[in-house]
Amino acid sequence: MTPYQKRQTPMTLRMIEDMKIRNFASATIDAYTYHIDKFDQFLEKKPISDAMPEDIRNYQLHLIEIRKVGFSSINQAGCGLRFFFSVTISKPWHIDMIPYGKREHKLPTVLGADEGNRLLQSTSYLKHRTFFMTLYSAGLRLSEAANLKLSNIDSQRMQLNIRFGKGSKQRLVPLSPRLLKELRFYWKVHKPTTFLFPGKTADRPYAQTSVQKVIKVSARKAGIKKNVTPHTLRHSYATGLLEAGVDILTISRLLGHSSIITTMIYLHVRRSHFQRIPSPLDWLPTRQLPRWSDPNYDQNNGSPN
């Protein structure tokens, strides 16, 4: 049972059962029940079974204007509400009346090789540094790395068996020889038995919130001004492969994307893509530039003498 599922009403307990029947991931069950419980609290004295589209609309406005949450959280709440009112409680009104917000499309933050090296060097604790190396070397999601077990490491075939991918999809990714060397050194020091990166006890994975906090500290120490998260290392992995000439279909499979369209965003951040694009400024004849006749202007390097 995930942490939030411990405090539930009869309605949300039934919702949990409905999601288990459909083999939803534990994290999804936890997230959906969290949002349903928050909506139930928002309704105050009104039973959630009597909720109408206007109540949901007011709740979404409450999330935007009062709680000021991001649209990813708002859409996640919308998914939970849609499931609850279409499966757990069948309502006469159509679930399309629960809208989704338009997400802001941002290009991924990517670290260069030097920045990646500085980030790892600035992470002094061995467990954290090895965790970041695993994310960076294999392009894993944070949850996938946190749930890695010793049995998922195939050193004979040099593969990592990712069994907790998004949507409960399993995939294989190459195991870097350097990462294997680092993992063996890490194992000699920490002696994990079940999970590669155990949490407070050996039978529980490492807390993802701890990793998110540590990487921020390491980025500051490394002097990296970008907004670095564990997912940044996954973006950096994908962009690095693309710049190295790996085809986008292979990258999509290595990342575990359900659609190659998701992977195509990395086409917009690869350096080679920009290096081939000329600037119209470079086509102008030098003598037409106003500063060319300035005696203090160095014509060779374009700067004042």
Q: What is residue 264's three-state secondary structure?
A: helix
Which DSSP string do the residues of 284-302 spell out, in sequence order?
A: S-GGGSGGGG-TTEETTTT
Neighbours of 179 (CB within 10 A): 19
Q: What is residue 267's three-state secondary structure?
A: helix
- Which amino acid is residue 132, in one-letter code? F
Written as six digits, the tokens of 109 are: 């933050």
Q: What is residue 172's three-state secondary structure?
A: strand
- Which residues does 47 contact at the CB level (< 8 Å), separation at least 6? none
Q: Judge whether 283 and 291 are in contact, CB under 8 Å.
A: no
Sheet strands (E) in the chain: 153-154, 159-162, 171-174, 297-298, 303-304
- How far apart (Å, rounded) are the C-alpha atoms in residues 47 and 60? 18
Q: Judge whether 45 and 20 are in contact, CB under 8 Å.
A: no
CA–CA distance from 295 to each of 285, 288, 290, 292, 304 (Å)? 18, 15, 12, 8, 9
Q: Which residues are catalytic?
A: 141, 166, 231, 234, 257, 266
- Secondary structure, 3-state, 114-160: HHHHHHHHCCCCHHHHHHHHHHHHHCCCHHHHHCCEHHHEECCCCEE
